[in-house]
Structure 1
Amino acid sequence: MAKIHPFKAVRPPKDKAGLVASRPYEDYSIGELTAELEYNPYSFLHIINPGYKFQHEITGEKRFELVRNRYLEFKEEETLIQDEEPCYYFYKIITRNKTFSGIIAAASVQDYEENFIKKHEDTIAARETLFKDYLKVVGFNTEPVLLTYPDSEVINEAIQNAMLDAPEYEFSTHNKETHYLWKICEPEVVDNIRQEFASMQELYIADGHHRSASSFLLAQESKEANPHHTGDEPYNYFMSFLIAESELKIYEYSRLVTDLNGWSKEEFLMQLDEWFRIENRGMEVYSPSNKHHFNMYLDGEFYSLYLRMTNYKFDNSLSSLDTYILYEKLLKPILGIHDLRNDSRISYIHGKNDLIKIKTKVDSKEFAVGFGMLPLTIKEIKEVADEGLTMPPKSTYIEPKLRSGLTIYEF
């Protein structure tokens, strides 16, 4: 039984929505960031980068406090205003090649704790604690966790009916995306959506494992500090964007490695031969068409690598993932990459980028070899989560990616 509740969002007025909304901070180049901060006083980036006001780099708890101050200033100036009643928020993004529609709502930390909201990635304790401390000081969350649910006719009908009306927000962005938001507060519609989610046995985290884990830590800490805890306090929930499984877009991450771990090219290929059938494709840009097939770019040539199925043993859902196979049979034993998160010898490119980018980086001698594979499926992700297992880091790049600042959840 999933508890997915409406909430009173803090958000920009209609005329400023496109100006306030920002991409994630790390997505901006230095030039883009500087221009946005210099010429757009309404950008949410002013809140999450408070040091710009003082022309000074600020870190740690002092930065958290200044983020809080900038946020309060935006509210005082009515660049951000809180809704008076709890609502669901239907959000639609039209990109160059896909349309995404879903619901922004508050998900339960108790559901997360009891595994009604299932995970498939490991988190890093230090990052969990850092973000928990950040949330505690600033008192709000603006980046929803991406949750996915089984396709539902009830929810789909509610979304489609809402979209017959004029949206609360409609604006386009520099990367040719169009964003829409509808506010849904009618009691009957809200109750139908709440009950439909309550009938679901589980939800799955698609993106945002650290954000959900940090929200859980904050809830535990807040509960212990509150002698009058009831379970209904805002800290018992975290903001989420819920999207049907069929609407997710899952990309792969390609792997790039700086060197061959001391092997010559010929020795390296012979090492691969134990687990893979190798075919030199020359300058033909080869892209895998089946699971357990990989592409490799090495020394100016493309190769196809097919897993030798008679040699490999599939023990569980994790062992069948191509990201796991590549790590266990190639990256770790042959190239000596043991820590996929922190080893400086490995880098990643998500599959929205062309294989030509891998070729360019290897040809430039920045990397010695690159590997690609098919993206994982939602079925594979759910199977790993259902078995309580965790995928290798950088196994998926999942869209949609929402803008920050359009809906804000206060604790």
Structure 2
Amino acid sequence: MRKPIDVKILRVFVGEAARHKGRPLYEAIVEEARQRGMAGASVCRGFMGFGAGSLLHTAKILRLAEDLPVIVEIVDTPPRIEAFLPVVDAMVEEGSIVVQDGQAIFHLPLRIRDVMTENVATVDVRTPLTAVVDLLLRREVKAVPVMEGRRIAGIITGGDLLSRARMPLRLDMQGQLPCEQRCEQDAAAGFAGLVAQDIMTSPARTLNIKTDVVDALKIMAGKNIKRLPVTADDGTLLGIVSRTDVLAAIARASSVAGHLEILPPGLNSTARDALFTDVPTARPDTPLTEILEQLVRSPLRRVVIVDADRKIIGLVHDWDLLRSFVQKESPGLVARLVRALTSQEQGLPALEGTARDVMTMNVITARPDTPLAEVIGVLVEKKIKRIVVADDGRLLGIVDRDAVLKALARQ
């Protein structure tokens, strides 16, 4: 049996004759709840009752035309009820609204409404691009919907900034640079005069709030999309969902019960089924210039440091290298390093030191037979994109979030 979860119960007491914008109020409340992806709503018609006016309403045979009492009941998680409460309050002109705590077991598909981020940062189509980048860095997010009034006009992702705005570094690496150098990078990219609509992806692909998680997973894996805005039936922006959100939801669900129908069929796979084996390696005494060369060539943007028997010793990320030289306060060398990492400079700068000087020694690993559910749990808990796969300490390859998503979507 699944464990009950904390919920809130929302009950709205109104008269059957109450209207909202020309339609029965109870019907309008249910439709609004449906559009917003609430877990469910029920309407009960009473056969007797009275309200604030003390007028008795009854369904006795001779008084069928009376304004009978109606109860709309909605059960959902506390945050979703709290978000919906002001909407209902604005709709009810006469009646009562009751909210109480409870516990429930939901036998429902795992839907996007359960995993999305609701507090969405947005920008206007006319927002300067420098302000867009500042917002992304400040909120530590990788994508932002672009709005034109209440309509989603598009979306700006880190990929859009790299490909269309010629931003030199990924967002996570931009955060490693001192403020002055970030400003220099923005200027070099030619951000001046550009606004959000100049580089956004439009139209933005969206998900309806009632989409289940497995269907969202298949869309993301099939279209290679990392983040999607979530909308109500009428197109109103309600949230945004990322690959990490989807993977985290699957990890939580699999920890409750491994055989629920809501879980994707690929969850029975192992790390071996999502393995990327073309992994750059080096020894601890490898010069940093050679490490940089491997980082530039590999899409993984990391080099695994191994000994003569391919036993894992450490790991060098591209941002490990960048951060090391930022800390040494060598702005000229950092600028050259940035140009090298973004393939803007033909010759690589000569770097002093070896892999041992910058590598991370705490390498998170998994065995090839580790169930994919456990791999997902580690990726989510440690907030990492990739995990090294090893057998008896020897390197076999790397599993990343994209490969995991595709393995899960596989029938």
Q: Which has the higher contact order (CA 8 A, sep 6+)?
A: 1
Length-normalised TM-score, structure 2: 0.23
Normalising by structure 1, report the TM-score. Answer: 0.23
The structure with the larger Rg is 2
